[in-house]
């Protein structure tokens, strides 16, 4: 029996990177897993691999910023696995541009995927969590939502929004037995980070107290803590595994 046996977790962006590590860590503790990701093939592969851990796992492909697709994905997960007890709003994108050159479309897409999706997913799970008087909502923000960074005004604004969303919602639902917290990873070696130009990556690595990017296995254990009964007194918190990039 794991710490999360009998619980249903849903992870957005769960087919790769940090999300894939979160899926594996939650499943290792006994949670059944719904994987929502726009990459249908990778989501199915992740679900098949997760099921080998002895839990139920379902791939539910969706564009996390689209209200109709998100509702369909959540409906598929709850129909197959039951009400969602643990929601990990993890899906995100990462691009760079100086503000002077930033197309409005680039700004809007960042907000849609990195912030609007958190609102959409959370709104879907809250009714059942309130009814059961138990729930865990864990949002993936970023240390850059605290610190800021050049060429990433849109990303930093979205992640700061996730942090603000987390704190405000924590006040609304804590007395219903629902905790809302955020993780703020620093630079993590994922496909998303690898797509950023090398010059930006090199400059960021030089800023880090630890002198290296993190790996996904250094992020996922914090999510397990927040998802479990051991994390029941974390309310509106932001936990920062960031290699010393921002110390708070």
Question: Which residues are the active-site residues?
Answer: 155
How would DSSP label each residue in 108-171? HHHHIIIIIHHHHHHHHHHHHHHHHT-EEEEEE--THHHH--TT-HHHHHHHHHHHHHHHHHHH
Mutual angle of helices 117-132 and 153-173, in 10-degree steps: 10
Distance CA 226, CA 87 (A): 11
| Sequence-distant (≥ 6) Cβ neighbours of residue 220 within 8 angstroms | 18, 21, 22, 24, 25
Tokens representing residue 211 in the block: 């002198």
H or E element in which residue 194 lies: helix 191-194
Name, in order, each residue with C-beta under 8 angstroms of 148's C-beta and a sequence gap of 6 or more. Answer: 156
The secondary structure of 91-113 as a DSSP string is --------GGG--HHHHHHHHII
Return the SS3 of 29. Answer: coil
The structure tokens 């503790």 sit at 29
Side-chain-side CA neighbours of residue 210 (13 Å) = 14
Q: Report the C-alpha gap between 162 and 165 in whole angstroms.
A: 5
């Amino acid at each position: 029996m794991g710490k999360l046996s009998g619980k249903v977790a849903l992870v957005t962006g769960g087919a790769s990177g940090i999300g894939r590590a979160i899926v594996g860590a939650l499943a290792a503790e006994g949670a059944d897993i719904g994987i929502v990701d726009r990459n249908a093939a990778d989501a199915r592969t992740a679900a098949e691999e997760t099921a080998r851990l002895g839990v139920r796992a379902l791939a539910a492909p969706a564009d996390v910023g689209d209200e109709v697709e998100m509702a369909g994905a959540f409906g598929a997960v709850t129909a197959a696995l039951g009400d969602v007890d643990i929601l990990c709003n993890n899906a995100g994108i990462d691009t760079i541009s100086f503000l002077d050159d930033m197309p409005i479309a680039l700004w809007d897409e960042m907000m849609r995927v990195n912030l609007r999706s958190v609102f959409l997913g959370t709104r879907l799970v809250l009714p059942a969590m309130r009814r059961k008087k138990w729930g865990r909502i864990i949002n993936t923000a970023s240390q850059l939502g605290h610190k800021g960074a050049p060429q990433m005004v849109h990303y930093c604004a979205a992640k700061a929004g996730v942090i603000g969303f987390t704190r405000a919602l924590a006040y609304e639902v804590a007395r219903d037995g629902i905790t809302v917290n955020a993780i703020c990873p620093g630079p993590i070696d994922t496909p998303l980070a690898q797509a950023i130009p090398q010059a930006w990556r090199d400059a960021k690595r030089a800023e880090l107290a630890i002198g290296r990017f993190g790996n996904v296995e250094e992020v996922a254990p914090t999510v397990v803590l927040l998802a479990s009964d051991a994390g029941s007194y974390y309310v509106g918190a932001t936990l920062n595994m960031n290699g010393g990039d921002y110390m708070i």
